[in-house]
Amino acid sequence: MNNGAVLSVNDLRVYYDTDAGTVKAVDGVSFDLRPGERLGLVGESGSGKSTMALALMRLHKPPARIAGGEVLLDGVGDVMKLDVDGLRRIRLDRMALVPQGAMNSLNPVMRIRDQLADGIRTHEPGDTRDDLAERIQAQLGRVGLDAEVGGKFPHELSGGMKQRVAIAIGTSLSPSVIIADEPTSALDVVVQRQVMETLRSVQEEIGASVLIVGHDMGLMAQIADRMGVMYAGKLVELAPVHDLFTNPQHPYTRLLIESVPTLMAKRALASIPGAPPTLINVPPGCPFHPRCPSAFEPCDSEVPLPTAQNGRVVSCHLYPGEAA
């Protein structure tokens, strides 16, 4: 394990084999998740961000397959090499998923407390009935839900409450890594904020690191410590959140930030010309070069390698330097 990272992702590749060809949804992504940090990962639809998040726990579904790379979990080793039993042991206990759209991830015919008990009993058998009930109640309280929610079924809860339940389940065994895949998409802005702040407070309380996958730049600016930007299956930039917003290096990051409407001033809305590539036919060289205003000679032929400087990583020919 290098430099004390909780999770170290090295050159991860996740491909889908389809009739039309191989889709390189995640194509050589490397990053470290540091202890206690909130790492935001943004990208547009089809950038591979959700595929990568799920693959970190080997929760990807066929035809997706791990085509290479390693995911080193502190104290466990390479998650990609674990057998079924090994995976079962670390999931929820060491690495937990807070899924997108909790409405579809909760069991509709099981009471909330039973869904919470399920994971706890599997990993930590031996609690008495009363102990378990107490733990469940405490866990619900932690995410700001009343104890009576435990006796309800998912359909009796609002979207925000269901998402809180998903956070309660995901953090019930105090995992060291939380993977939150678009945890607040489809929620209204007031509820979105409350759920995000709940996730933050629970994560801080249990000292976990969290990878938050999303597409909302504003939300990331509010919640993340560091932020990564994915484009066409690649991590094009990774930087502390403040640096990324004040001084974005990759042209895609810069344009993405400029395209976000704000309440600050009315201006002509900027957009990025063209459309993201389909991942079957990724342009040669830098995948962003057909849309990039700064493209020059090497961009259409050479794939830019990630270079590291001042605690940030960027993959762009404008920033030649030491390989990360």
Partner 1 sequence: MTAFLEMVNVSKVFSAGIIRRQHTVAVDDVTMTIDEQSPSILAVAGESGSGKTTLARLLLGVIPPSSGEVIYRGQSVDDLSREQRRTYLREIQPIFQDPFESYNPFYKVDHVLTVPAQKFQLAATKQETSRLIHEALDMVGLQPAETLGRFPHQLSGGQRQRVMVARAMLLRPRLIVADEPVSMVDASLRATILESIRRMKQELGISVVYITHDLTTAYQIADNILVMYKGSVVEAGSVEQVIRDPRHPYTQLLVSSIPQPDPSLPWGAEAEIAGDPESMEVAATGCKFVDRCPVAFEPCAGQRPLLFHEHPSRAAACFQYDKSPALEGQNLDVVFEPQLKSQSSADPQKSATIRNPPTSEGGL
Spell out, one character per residue from 275 to 314, where the chain touches partner 1: x when CB under 8 A holds, - when not. Answer: xx--------------------------------------
Q: What is the smallest separation between the CB atom of 290 and partner 1, expressed in angstroms? A: 13
Which CB sits closer to partner 1, 45 or 128?
A: 45
Judged by CB under 8 A, the chain residues 26 through 55 that form the site for partner 1 are 44-45
Q: What is the smallest separation between the CB atom of 317 and partner 1, expressed in angstroms? A: 21
Spell out, one character per residue from 212 to 231, where the chain touches partner 1: x when CB under 8 A holds, - when not. Answer: ---xxxxx-xxx--------
Spell out, one character per residue from 161 to 200, where the chain touches partner 1: x when CB under 8 A holds, - when not. Answer: x--------------------------xxxxxxx------
Q: What is the smallest separation between the CB atom of 196 and partner 1, expressed in angstroms? A: 8
Q: Which stretch binds partner 1 (CB under 8 A): 63-71, 78-86, 110-118, 154-162?
A: 154-162
Q: What is the smallest separation between the CB atom of 245 and partner 1, expressed in angstroms? A: 6
Q: Which stretch binds partner 1 (CB under 8 A): 51-59, 68-76, 257-265, 314-322?
A: 257-265
Nearest to 29 by CA among 175, 207, 211: 211
| List 127, 245, 305, 318, residue binding partner 1 (CB under 8 A) | 245
Kindly state the tokens that stand for 161.
């409450």
Question: Is 266 near partner 1 (CB under 8 A)?
Answer: yes
Q: Which stretch binds partner 1 (CB under 8 A): 75-83, 87-95, 167-175, 255-263?
A: 255-263
Interface positions with partner 1 (CB under 8 A): 44-45, 158-161, 188-194, 215-219, 221-223, 241-242, 245, 255-257, 259-264, 266-272, 275-276
